[in-house]
């Protein structure tokens, strides 16, 4: 009987681990104050922001980049990390779509919830053709304000050319989901998102 209980607990723990990996990866809080937790709880309960807010982050070279750098473009803002398997799985798809749709005014931007050294090491083995920025605690709060109530990764938000929020999604985005949300925002003629993985 005791062996059966141990086996059930092991299977349950494994199932929870797999579920977390599939849905997304929760990041570690940068701040641990009680007031911060209460403020974060209020932000999670609020309606998601509907327009792209102003923010500034640094890229991998230490340069500051402002969110208004992509004004007039269809923006795909992706919160990710090198330790998040679903995040890493969708990056090659993002690279391919960025290459194909760059001239159509689509801009992917990755916000890494990670250490800059880890992101540099990742990019050395997996080239990325869109800007990668390093998250700060304020931007993690922004992720929640944009609709990431579960605070998991990956989390992606798509904005139209006017900075209006079109879609937000926790978890990996498929080629078909990207096509569903990006194609209507593109100019009538020109490349489209491929629906094949």
| Residue burial 25-49, b: 16+ Cβ < 10 Å; e: rest | bebeeeeeeeeeeeebeebeeeeeb
Q: In which band, very low, low, confident or very high, does the pLDDT at 140 lie, cut at 50, 70 and 90? A: confident
pLDDT of 193 reads 64
pTM of the model: 0.75
Element at 178 (helix H, strand E): helix 175-182
Residue 157 pLDDT > 60: yes
- Dist CA 174 CA 185 (whole Å): 17
Instruction: Indicate the pLDDT class of residue 45, thresholds 50, 70 and 90.
Output: low
| Mean confidence (pLDDT) of the chain | 81
Q: What domains appear along the chain, each with residue ranges and CATH number? A: 2-185 (3.40.30.10)
Q: How far apart are the first and last CA of the chain?
A: 46
């Amino acid at each position: 009987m005791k062996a059966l209980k141990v086996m059930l607990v092991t299977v349950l723990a494994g199932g929870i681990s797999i579920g977390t990996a599939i849905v997304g990866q929760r990041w570690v809080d940068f701040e641990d104050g009680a007031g911060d937790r209460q403020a974060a709880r209020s932000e999670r309960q609020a309606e998601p922001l509907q327009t792209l807010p102003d923010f500034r982050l640094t890229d991998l070279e230490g340069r500051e980049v402002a969110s208004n750098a992509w004004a007039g473009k269809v923006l795909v803002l992706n919160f990710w990390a090198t330790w998040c398997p679903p995040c890493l799985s969708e990056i090659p798809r993002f690279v391919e779509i960025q290459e194909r749709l760059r001239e159509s005014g689509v801009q992917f931007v990755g916000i890494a919830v990670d250490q800059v050294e880890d992101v540099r090491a990742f990019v050395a083995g997996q080239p990325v053709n869109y800007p990668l920025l390093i998250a700060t605690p304020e931007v993690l709060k922004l992720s929640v304000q944009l609709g990431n109530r579960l605070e998991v990764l990956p989390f992606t938000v798509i904005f139209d050319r006017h900075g209006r929020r079109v879609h937000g999604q926790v978890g990996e985005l498929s080629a078909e989901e990207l096509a569903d949300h990006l194609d209507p925002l593109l100019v009538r003629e020109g490349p489209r998102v491929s629906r094949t993985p």
